[in-house]
Amino acid sequence: MSTASSTSTKRTSLERFRLKKALETLSKKEGRATELVSLYVPPGRQIGEVMGMLRQEYGTASNIKSDTTRKNVQDAITKVQQRLKLFKEIPKNGLVIFAGAIPQNGPGSERMETYVITPPEPIYVYLYRCDPKFHTEYLQEQLREKETYGIMVVDASASTIGTLEGSRLQIVREDTSGVPGKHRAGGQSARRFERLREANLLSYYKRVGQHANEVFLSIPTLKGLIIGGPGATKTEFEKGDFLHYQLKQKILDTVDTAYTSEQGVKEVVERAPEILKRVRYVEEKKIVQDFLYQVGHDTGLATYGENDVKRALESGSVQTLIISEGLNIVRATVKCNSCGYERQETMKEPALLPFEQSLIGQPCPKCTAPSLAMVETRDIIDDFADLAEQAGANVEVISTEIEEGQMLKNSFGGIAATLRFKPSS
């Protein structure tokens, strides 16, 4: 894998994690009524144009009969406007802002919350929506695999070639074989018929392989190839010398299907999510196994644990930062509103709410005023990712759905790194 491609993969794994976490948080938010504002602004839109639209929506909201709903909607629009003003222009991938009054503990406990997301990939929808939930579906789409995968279904009678990019399926080519069935015509010997049929089948396989080579070798983003079909024909085709060697190296799996037409390709697509997930799992396995090799052979080119990895990042010795997505640890910043006293606390995410409630009425250690409040929370993964970015290190976020991912989390604390050079003792 080239350096550029490797860097892109690692950056994407972190971006996908951050987006996934943000969307998990947003999808749990619910408003009292149609009070939650979702704004999607694609790249190229003028901020002045968007502000004009929001002013118009603010005016329209004045017609809402419920005093509480009217106030909450207008407050949410104001919050969106305030965040929008912080940008001189819409970022290159667009901008998404969510704002609304979220009940904290029953009616009357609403708190205005605002979230700003710069998508990792361009968004193409221009949307303003006011509903009881935030509209995250257009961002959810960016969590889907975006590389292109080749799909071909083949049997002795026909073949179909298609491509899958994200959720977009395209049928590129369909062919029939012209190969007669296994029952011979009258007057032919069984042996002669079988020889002719095998010759026709071989010619057909070569033709299908040529078409596949023409289609798939022209796709620079092709990540892998899945071959499907009924019976043993697909296996014969896969094992034969019909595909270009570069394509043979990209075969991810063979799948049984009932059809070889477009319906057969759709059968493969139905099973593709599990196959494509395994592709990423294989990449993750290699990353963790490389780390385990360095640890097991005591090469000095690996370290783990929050403090040791942090020191390695600060010294610039980290090649790849490896973090478990199951870490679930956050840093909470506590501040006194009276004297400015500030401290950080590290805890598991489920402990955040009880911790925040425990601060109510608690005296400040510095001025004794009961003015402590939690002013910011930050995922520990983001802390380490920022350090890695400053150090020029790659970042890999590893799932807990593979054995190596579980080992990373349970045996090494979920934070590890492979190193460029041995740290000085």
Res. 117 pLDDT band, cuts 50 70 90: very high
DSSP string, 139-203: HHGGGS--SEEEEEEE-SSEEEEEEEETTEEEEEEEEE-----SSPPTTS-HHHHHHHHHHHHHH
Question: How confident is the model at residue 317, as a pLDDT?
Answer: 94
pLDDT digits (tens, 9 = 90+) for 68-96: 899 999 999 999 999 999 999 999 999 99
**Average pLDDT of every residue of the chain:** 87
Candidates 235, 396, 382; CA nearest to 320 is 396
Res. 283 pLDDT band, cuts 50 70 90: confident
Looking at per-residue pLDDT, the higher value among 104 and 308 belongs to 308
| CA–CA separation, 49 and 278 (whole Å) | 44
pLDDT higher than 90, residue 32: no
pTM here is 0.61
Which residues does 322 contact at the CB level (< 8 Å), separation at least 6? 287, 288, 291, 396, 398, 408, 415, 416, 417, 418
The CA-atom distances, in angstroms, between 396 and each of 19, 166, 305 are: 15, 21, 16
pLDDT higher than 60, residue 58: yes
Looking at per-residue pLDDT, the higher value among 5 and 318 belongs to 318
| CA–CA separation, 8 and 14 (whole Å) | 10
How large is the average pLDDT for residues 318-322? 95
Q: Of 138-152, 158-172, 281-295, 367-381, which gets the smallest average pLDDT?
A: 138-152
Question: How confident is the model at residue 11, as a pLDDT?
Answer: 45
Res. 196 pLDDT band, cuts 50 70 90: confident
The number of beta carbons lying within 10 Å of the beta carbon of residue 88 is: 6
Q: What's the angle, vertex CA 337, arms to CA 331 and CA 343, rounded to 5?
A: 30
Candidates 100, 78, 79, 82; CA nearest to 29 is 100
Looking at per-residue pLDDT, the higher value among 194 and 331 belongs to 331
Two structure tokens written together for 292 = 């385990």
Question: How confident is the model at residue 1, as a pLDDT?
Answer: 30
Question: How confident is the model at residue 220, as a pLDDT?
Answer: 86
Q: What are φ and ψ of residue 271, in 5° steps?
A: -95, -10
